[in-house]
Structure formats: C-alpha cells, structure tokens
Chains A and B, each alone.
Chain A
Amino acid sequence: MTAQEVRLCGLLLREHFGDVVERVGTHLLKGGAQNLRTIIHETGISLDLIKKSLCVLVQHRICTFSAGRKGPGSPTEYRTSCDHILRILRYPRYIYSAKTLYGDTGELIIEELLQRGEMTMSSIVKTVADRLTQNMEEGRSMDYSEVSSAFSKLVETHFLQRCPPVAGAGTKESATPANTDKPAAPANTAPPTAESFPDCYKVPHVTLIGRGKRQLSPEDGEDQRNAKKAKMDIETHGDEGIHWQVNFERFHLHFRDQAIISAVANKLDQTSSEIVRTMLRMSEVTTPPTATYTKPLSANEIFRSLPTSYSIPRPILDQYLTLLVDDPMEFVGKAGESGGGMYVVNLHRALANLARATLESVVQERFGSRSARIFRLLLRKRHLEQKQVEDFAMIPAKEAKDMLYTLLSQNLVQLQEIPKTPDYAPSRTFYLYTVNQLPTARMLLQNCYKTVANLIDRRLFETKDSKRLLEKSQRIEAILASLQASGAEPEQLTEVEEMITAPEKQQLETLRLHINKLDSAENQVDETIFILESYVNSTATAAS
C-alpha cells in the first residue's frame, strides 16, 4: 500500500460514497485494523456518521470486521485494503463485459449489484425487470422469469456468488465446512472466502411470478404507490437471507482470458485465437484461479469443443496447435503425447509476456523506438556493457549513452557494478546494464495509480470550474421536462430552451467532451493496471 494507492482510493471513495466515508476509509487504510473507539477518537467524526459509513463500506465488501486480536471479548476491529477499493475503478468494465456476455439483462443485474453491494435474488430480479420495462415500448413488459434465468446463468458461470454467512451469526453447518476447506486460515484474522462454502453457487428456489412494472407517473398519487410498496414488502419469495454479490475474481479471470485471446489474435491470426478461446473456455471451471497453466486438454477434446461455425478440419487444427506451441511467446504448451497430444495454456507465461509487452510499449512511446530497442535488447540478453549495447543495437555511441542514462535515471534500466579489484576503481570495474521486469512492472503500476488519480483530479477540477453552468442546465432541463409533461406550447418550450445562451451551450459541449475523454482514459489506464496487477500477483503465487 503506497501513498499513490491511498490517494487514488480516497478519490474513488469520495466520488462514490462522499466525504465522510472517504475520511473513514482513508483513515482505515493508513492506520490498519482498528476498533470503533479508535476511529472516533482519531478522526473526530461523530459516532453516528462513522457507524453509517462503516455500514456502507461493509455492504460493499470494502471493509471487513473481525473479533479483536486481543482474544475473545475484545472490541471488534475494522480493516480495509486497497485492492477492494481499487475495484471501484473497474466497475464500468465489469458492467460492460456482463453486457457483451449476457445482454442488457446481465448488464443491469451486475450494475444493480455493484451499486448496492449485495442483494437478494428476488429484489434484483424485480428491480431489473422494472428497469427494463421502463425502457420498453408502451404496453410491453419484461417477464420476471427471463430475468431470473439470466441471473441463474450468471451464477452458473460463477460471475455471481452468495455472500458468505457473517462470521458468528452463521449457522453451525456452514461454519464447519469452511474450517475444513481452509484449515490454514485462522478464522480470526482472515475472513472466510465465499468460495469455501459448498453452496455458494446454488440458486435457491424462488417463487417469482409476474412482470416488470412501469413506474407510475407522478399524478397517480403518492399514497397509492406507498400502499403498493408496503404490500410488496410483505410478500415472501423463499430466498430471504440469501444475499448475492459479484464475484470479482471470476471477472478478473475473464479479463485475463480476453487479454490472452486478443494477444494471440494480434500475434498469429483469428483462427488461432479461437482455438485458444476454446481451450480457455473448456478449462474455465476445472482450472483453479491461481494455476500456472490450465489443465491439459487433448487435441481430440479441443476438436470436439470447437464452435461449429469454425469448420476447421482435424489436420489443420493439429497444425495450428503445433504453430501455437512453436511460437516464441509460448502461450500454449504441450504437456504430453497421449490423446493426439495434450495441450495447456501457459497462463502465467502469457501474463508475463503481456506485462513485458506493456513495459516495452511504455518505453517505446515515451522514449522512442530506439530506446525501446535498447530496452528489448537488455531484456533479451540480461546483462550488457555499454559498448555491447551500442554494437548490438547499432546505435552511435553518443546517442546510445544518452538513451541508456535516461532510461537509468527513470529506473527502467538498472546498473550492476562488478569490480575486478575490491577498491571499486572505475577503470577496473565492469558496468553491466540490466532490466528487472518485476520491479519495473511494480514501478509502472504505481505510475498508473498516480495517473488515474491525476485524471480524476482533473475531472473534478473541470466540473467544479463550470459548476454554475451545470446547475443552470440541470434546472432548465427539469423545467423543460415538467413543461412537456403538462403539455405546454412549443413556443414556451423554445423560450425556456433559449435561457442557455449559445456560448454557454458551447462550453457545456466542450465540458462534456473533456469529461468523456478523461473517463475513457481512466478506463484505458485501468486495463494497463489490470495486466500489471495480474502479472505481479502471478509471480507472487509462483514464488510461494
């Protein structure tokens, strides 16, 4: 956890949950696990507000709590971690990929869940059906059963999971399997993961019949709606107490697979990427999330699982597989000869290659293609003297020196001294340049955090700058809407519209463009963050 991360987390919390939550959240980040009294004492916020913000954080699984470290009876401690908060940055991507996989329904389900942290299935289905109905034409509505089937699909593919029962409050039955599954994790310090419960992907039987309701227009009367609401709340659907959450890890695995597939498509061709996609899909459920490579798949199996639209004859498939194995990127490896050849996808190797390509791309864009040549050269040959770098890269000594020193000063390249004599006399010392991929990736990751924080800062600044204008346009839109609803004359409408002058309109337009640009840039940087994070995490699991 670095200063950059804390700054970014603070900004994210403030954007989504407001100032108070931000203060509590950053305090928890900086101070580590603390009990309620300490938080009150050190932040100086009232007890009520702190309780509320902790509730918000717990609801969104950003904060966890556990019994105090000082043994039974000591006050409950709250803790949070950057990883959980940084996921907020990726929300758009989760929602977008749910849309591409499961259409609008999937998108709305994920969106609702992300906004609310956790919900019961029945309430999700109802909300989503209502929202979908609202966007449909008059007279049509969304059936609950359709939404529930989309929900079940998301659960089947593990994109959603049940929230683990709260420690202590959970029943005896669910607590025991958790302990047997993960005996190494002491129940006190690490909260049990959702995966460790046996029925975390079991969809309960829910009785939901009906269709999405259109939101009634305001003149229908408030009391009628309130009455309806009260009635609905009393209904039971048979899934009370079972809350669902988004399985972020599953989404990350999906993103990782997508990154690998697109890399293969770029490097080789579309067909090879389809084969890799098939391999990854087949092993989706069987391979544990942190595995170095997927479970071996025989060529026969792959052949049978290929989508029928891709009519690849068997011998051609074998050729493609051989090519994939031969490729120096080594995305696919061969594990054996049985069953027409057993193949695996080298997940960690692929991540390392992607991370390396990311580093190279950063150097290339920032320092030019010649510096990138030197960088790649050092990556390949590990240790080189300055003279060797000049010769191999075919760059004049003067320029090569300049580039090397620039890279060195930016910490992208490291220098290793090897003295021939113990006095480190420069004339009798080898100076070897080298690139360490992992530390460099870590450093770039920090730069990415800072970049995103900068972008958010800038966005806030831009909106603050034209706050008055934004408020005005919002007010006018509201007036317009109400006028339209009451059936006003067109002249009246244009009159109201003209309250925003042309230069103001222009300003609003540029502001919109700026915000969009900053938003999309945030998402792009997040893709870099994702690749680097996965790479750093993969090396951590490989080492342990």
Chain B
Amino acid sequence: MAEVKVKKEANLSDPAEVENRIRELCQQFPHGITDQVIQNDMPHLEPQQRAMAINKLLSLGQLDLLRNSTGLLYRMKDTQSTSKMKGSDNQEKLVYQIIEDAGNKGIWSRDIRFKSNLPLTEINKILKNLESKKLIKAVKSVAASKKKVYMLYNLQPDRSVTGGAWYSDQDFESEFVEVLNQQCFKFLQSKAEVARDSKQSPMVQRNSSFATSHEVWKYICELGISKVDLSMDDIETILNTLIYDGKVEMTVIAAKEGTVGSVDGQMKLYRGVNPILQPTGLVRTPCGLCPVFDDCHEGGEISPSNCIYMTEWLDF
C-alpha cells in the first residue's frame, strides 16, 4: 500500500496524471465529487495545480460543473454526448448545455439568448445546426401557439408543453373531450340504473351505483374510442367535468393498500345523479331567454306588445 502511495505522490507533479486521477474519482462517484474529495485524495497537490487540471478537463468538455446546496460539484460528462458534440465549437456546446438543462419542459430561444449572452442571429444559426444533426428538436407549445421551445431530440415533451392527451397539433380536441364526457356519463348512468332495478335494500342500491375511476378508465379503454393512451388522471379530469355539469357526484373512500385503482390508500367513487329541479319557470318563458331583455320597456321600440319572440312562442 505504501508503495502505491509513494508512487502516486511521485507522479503528482505531472498534470496529466492529476487529470487521470480526477477522472478515475469521477467514475467512482457517478453522482459527482466535490472539491473536498479531490483534496482528500491528493492532499499534497497545490490548489493551483488542482485548479489548472480541473479547468483543462472542463474546457475539454470531459467534466461538468454543477452547483448544489453544499457547493460546487464535478461530474463526468456523458461520453455519449461528448461524442455527439464532436466537431462543435464552444458556442454550440454552450447552447446544447442550456437546452439540456431545460429538460423535457423545453426552452424558448429568447431565454437561450439571455442565458448564453450570444446574439440572436448566432443562436438561430446554432439551433438550426443542432437540429440538422438531430441533437435537439423544436416543439410547439400549447400555451402560446407561436412559441417554439427546444429540447433534446430523444426527450418526450412534458404535458404542460403538449397539453397531454387532449391536444393534437396544439389544438384542443374539444370534440374528443365531449365524446369521452358523454361516454363516461353513459357508463355511470347505466350503472345507476342497474342498481336501481336490482330491488335491493337502499344502502346496497346506492353503493352499487358507485363506480371507481379505475372501472371507468377500463371501460373507456375497452371501448377503444381513444387513439391515444389515456391515463387514470385523464379520466378523472373528464369525470370532474361531469361533476361540474351537475350530473355526477364524487366521494372518496379509504381503500385497502394494493386494491386496484387506489391511490395513496384512497379510492375515488363516482355515481350518476338526477338533477333536483326541472328547468325553472323563468326560462320557460321567452323573457327568460331574451337577448334584449334589458332594453325592453312598455311603449318603447322593444316592448312586450310587439315582441316577436313572444308572438312566435304564442303561435308555437
């Protein structure tokens, strides 16, 4: 052991050796190493030399400099990405790095400009370059149709960018949502009807009219009306719109751990309900629906006596 140590210390003056050693350390700790780790490993190394070695590695693009809560962190760069970046200049690397950091949320070209301090024309050139190399891709965001965001080529865009299952080509598929909305309601309604016809005790009737979101999800999947894969969450959003339509009620019950369709020991139950009122009397008159109600006065241009809506309604 002592021999090895001696050998190492002897070689320490050689910058190449130091670099190799740091590389080895980085491979040992794939999550990254701090300055302290390097210092402990090579206690006799001058801070200056250490800095020089690290700087060299950084400029070669072999090391990554990260910042976490405790301080700076060095990490080995993916050999893959370095190989991809072969033949790219520093500016290109920088832009690539910024895009990589943005993850699957993507980043807007203006934000790249702020982060990199490069002129916009330059950035556009680099972006085009990277795109042609299939390193990055441009995705249109649903939030603003004109806004393009960039992310790495192999990433699946985040839901906030694509809008999830409800968007195709940045367009909200309201028809799709309506169809799903109706289908879910049909399912819950038929379930409630079966429960009502079962002639069991009222408690059992009520309980059997409930369906878990998992059941609804399975039903929708089996119907095959959706081209895209819908998740349980997607179905729950649809069911929520039914709640806002006043057609469905939801309760949450505690479920046994591991039951199908339970989330955090809870299960969401939905059931179709009837409205408590028929359309109220006011809206059964033409005045209840009249678009010029506020302008209507006896003796005025619009008045109950010469009202065309009223005439149509009376002759109906």
Contacts and interface: CB of A to CB of B under 8 A. Distances in A.
Interface of A: 7, 263-264, 266-267, 269, 271-272, 315-316, 319-320, 322-323, 328-329, 353-354, 357-358, 360-362, 364-366, 369, 372-374, 376-377, 380, 392-397, 399, 444, 447-448, 450-451, 453-455, 457-458, 461, 510, 513-514, 517-518, 521, 523-528, 531
Contacts of A513: 314
A514 B314 contact: yes
Interface string B130-168: 000000000000000000000000000000000000100
Contacts of B298: 7, 457
B125 to A, nearest CB: 32
Given A447-B293, A451-B287, 14 more contacts: A315-B201, A323-B206, A329-B276, A353-B276, A354-B277, A357-B275, A392-B244, A454-B307, A458-B307, A517-B314, A525-B282, A527-B280, A528-B282, A531-B280
Contact of A365 (B166, B289, B296): B289
B283 A450 contact: no
A495 B164 CA distance: 80
A357 B203 contact: no
Contacts, number: 143
B280 A380 contact: no
Interface stretch (B49-57, B106-114, B220-228, B233-241): B233-241
A181 B66 CA distance: 83
Nearest to A363: B283
A395 B244 CA distance: 12
Given A353-B276, A373-B245, A394 B166 contact: yes
B198 interface: no
Chain B CB within 10 Å — which of A354, A369, A448 has the most?
A448
How would you classify the secondary structure of chain A's contact residues: helix, strand, loop or mixed? Answer: helix
A418 B304 CA distance: 42
Contact of A461 (B274, B289, B305, B315): B305
Closest 3 CB pairs of A and B: A524-B281, A365-B283, A451-B287
A362 B307 contact: no
Contacts of B87: none
Contacts of B313: 517
B167 to A, nearest CB: 10
A406 to B, nearest CB: 11
A267 B287 contact: no
A337 to B, nearest CB: 19
A393 B244 contact: yes
B246 interface: yes
B282 A448 contact: yes
Contacts of B206: 323
Given A323-B202, A457-B305, A372 B240 contact: no
A366 B172 contact: no
Interface of B: 166, 172, 174, 177, 181, 196, 201-203, 206, 237-238, 240-241, 243-246, 249, 273-285, 287-289, 293, 296, 298, 303-305, 307, 310, 313-315
A461 B304 contact: yes
A263 B202 contact: no
A267 B274 contact: yes
13 contacts: A263-B277, A272-B202, A362-B280, A364-B279, A366-B289, A372-B245, A397-B172, A444-B282, A447-B288, A454-B304, A525-B288, A526-B281, A527-B281
B244 A377 contact: yes
Contact of A360 (B174, B246, B314): B246
A400 to B, nearest CB: 10
Nearest to B299: A457
Nearest to B203: A319
Give the most central of B166, B237, B276: most A CB within 10 Å: B276
Contact of B202 (A266, A316, A380, A450): A316
A233 B181 CA distance: 73
B310 A451 contact: no
A524 B293 CA distance: 18
B38 to A, nearest CB: 46
Contacts of A329: 276
A498 B177 CA distance: 64
Contact of B241 (A328, A364, A373, A514): A373
